[in-house]
Amino acid sequence: MRTLQDLVRKNIWALKPYACARDEFKGEASVFLDANENPFGYPYNRYPDPRQTILKSKISRIKGVPAEQILLGNGSDEPIDLTIRIFCEPGIDNMVAIEPTYGMYRVAADINNVEYRPVNLDSKFDIDTDAIKAAVDSNTKVIWLCSPNNPTGNDLSRDRILDILNWFDGIVVLDEAYIDFAGRESWLKELDKFPKLIILQTFSKAWGMASVRCGMAFASKEIISLYNNVKYPYNINLLTQTFVSERLKCIDEKEEWVASILAERSRMATELGKLSTVYEIYPSDANFLLVRVKDANATYRSLIERGVVVRNRNSVTLCGNCLRITIGTKEENETLIKELMVNKE
Ligand SMILES: *Cc1c(COP(=O)(O)O)cnc(C)c1O
């Protein structure tokens, strides 16, 4: 059984992190001459809170996770990259992931020169636990799971996630970017039972703030403190911290958006099902539908010509002739259906 220290790269475990001015002095003061800031231009002249205390306390209340178990990043991309940099020795360690899944895990692995071992999902797009276990060896530091999964749209089964969590003694990252669209509880409630579980969520989807770039990682205090040591000190700027804090007050609006997207998702599944060129609509627990059509490349091109952009997933493993269609407004969705009806390819 590997301990957390066994899993962390030696240089990271030994790291003496950068001590920024805002970390060193934490009390109340009226004169700040410690950070070489400009005294004019308040509030943007000041470096932002490196630990995002106010924002995290609000997130903590909404998510039911203590603030010291939260990392905020520049989108989910940041915790994805940090996870690899903390745990994986380039050229030596490896990571195992479901396939197909979110493309950033592999890109971040490639950038860090860490071997990435994709393991195909089964015919129902669920985890093939035996194949995952067979791909793991003593240099496997991280397993990547994404549920609901992108681009397949489905939730992975709880029992199989649990099986992986109980079996693997390394880090399991569970990406819940689409959790608000899935009719189930988050795994956040079980974080304390699994000290090597990292859960990713984001403000980019249900909360409607993709442009703001704010992602969340939830994990044990020990893992969060490793993240804090490695991240850029001021990784979340003041504009983002205050804007997200304000938007968190509008949780009702977020829930209305989610309800509208879910209603449209089921309406779209019905409407798409009526088209002769649509062969299969996969079950979705997310804000998009994966749809298998007669000729994905041709449909993709003809939609583009009409100003409608969907994601062509034709070349993705297990997704031949599939398009990934984001659920938009009722009007946007109707435009898509109309254009698909014109295009009979
Ligand atoms: C969209 C998405 C994210 C969100 O990424 P951000 O960097 O937070 O915008 C994360 N994971 C998956 C699987 C996604 O599809």
Ligand 1 neighbourhood includes 215 CB (under 6 angstroms)? yes
Which one, of 99, 106, 96, lies nearest residue 319 by Cα?
Answer: 99
Ligand 1 neighbourhood includes 146 CB (under 6 angstroms)? yes
Alpha carbon of 77 to ligand 1 centroid (Å) = 7
Task: Give the ligand 1 atom nearest the CA of 101.
Answer: 13
- Please state, in angstroms and rounded to a whole number, the distance separating the CA atoms of residues 179 and 207: 11
Residue 292 has pLDDT above 80, yes or no: yes
| Residue 103, number of CB atoms within 10 A of its CB | 11
Could you tell me if the CB of 75 is within 6 A of ligand 1?
A: yes
**Rounded Cα gap, residues 323 and 339, in angstroms:** 14
Which residue's alpha carbon is at the smallest distance from atom 11 of ligand 1? 177
List, for residues 173-197, the tens digit of each pLDDT value: 999 999 999 999 999 999 999 999 9
pLDDT of residue 104: 98
The verdict on the CB of residue 210 being under 6 Å from ligand 1 is: yes
Q: Find the mean pLDDT for residues 296-309.
A: 97
Q: Express as a percent the part of the chain with pLDDT over 90.
A: 95
pLDDT higher than 90, residue 74: yes
Give the DSSP letter of residue 10. Answer: H
Residue type, 338: K
Q: In whole angstroms, how far apart are CA 56 and each of 11, 48, 269, 339? A: 28, 14, 37, 44
Flag whether pLDDT at 279 surpasses 80. yes
Strands (E), 186-273: 197-202, 215-218
Mapped onto helix, strand or coil, the DSSP state of residue 97 is strand
**pTM, rounded to two decimals:** 0.97
pLDDT in tens, 154-178: 999 999 999 999 999 999 999 999 9
How confident is the model at residue 11, as a pLDDT? Answer: 98
What is the residue with the minimal CA distance to atom 4 of ligand 1?
76
pLDDT of residue 26 exceeding 80, the answer is no
Is 340's pLDDT higher than 60?
yes
pLDDT band for 345, please (50, 70, 90 cuts). low
Nearest CA residue ID for atom 14, ligand 1: 177
- Residue 322 binned pLDDT confidence (cut-offs 50, 70, 90): very high
* Residue closest by Cα to atom 15 of ligand 1: 150
**What is the position in ligand 1's atom list of the atom closest to the CA of 210?**
9
Q: Which of 303, 305, 278, 306 is nearest to 292 (CA)?
A: 278
Q: pLDDT at position 52, please?
A: 98
Between the CA of 102 and the centroid of ligand 1 the distance, in Å, is 8
Q: What digits encode the pLDDT tens for the residues 91-120? A: 999 999 999 999 999 999 999 999 999 999
Mean pLDDT of the chain: 97
pLDDT band at 21 (very low <50, low <70, confident <90, very high): confident
- 150 CB under 6 A from ligand 1? yes
pLDDT band, residue 267 (cuts 50/70/90): very high
